[in-house]
Amino acid sequence: MLLTACVVGVLHVPCSSANGRIFFGDEKPDAEANGAPFFGFVRDGAGGGVPEAQVTLESREAKTRLVLQTDKLGHFYFSGFRKEFDPRRVQLGCGKTGYRLVAKRLQPPRGKPTAKTPIEVHCTLEKIAAE
């Protein structure tokens, strides 16, 4: 099992990553309290996953900045901010040392989204050529 450190605001919380899902300590996410989950991939220009890339989700409304790390396939998952916060107002960042950001986007849900409809995230990074 891969152990990483997640940062929520200024609070450091031990967590583990399993198939891209993030679980904090021994607690499972409170699905009823959470709003829309965020999931997606960080890929390189050829479409391959970028492992250990950082994905930043920031909700000024929730006064929370969360930094996640992708798994070995470049995948990540976050169970969502509290349901009273609008997921469309979340700011997205992606990066990794030795790479530059080429593209990032939050994919809006299809059809009639609810407060719990998952939000898909796409990031593309390009390896920086050594000089």
Average pLDDT value for residue range 88-103: 91
pLDDT for res 35: 81
Domain count, the chain: 1
Give me the domain span that covers residue 115: 28-127
pTM of the model: 0.68
Model confidence band, residue 15 (pLDDT cutoffs 50, 70, 90)? very low
The residue ranking higher by pLDDT, 72 or 57, is: 72
77: left (phi over 0), alpha (psi -120 to 50) or beta: beta
CB atoms within 10 A of CB 20: 18
Handedness of CA 88, 108, 48, 79 (dihedral sign): positive
Residue 55 belongs to some domain of the structure: yes
- Supply the CATH number for residue 46's domain: 2.60.40.1120
Query: Terminus-to-terminus CA distance in the chain, angstroms?
Result: 37
Instruction: Give bridge partners of residue 76 from the DSSP assignment.
Output: 40
Q: Is residue 6 part of a domain?
A: no
Residue 12 falls inside a structural domain: no
On average, the pLDDT of the chain sits at: 77
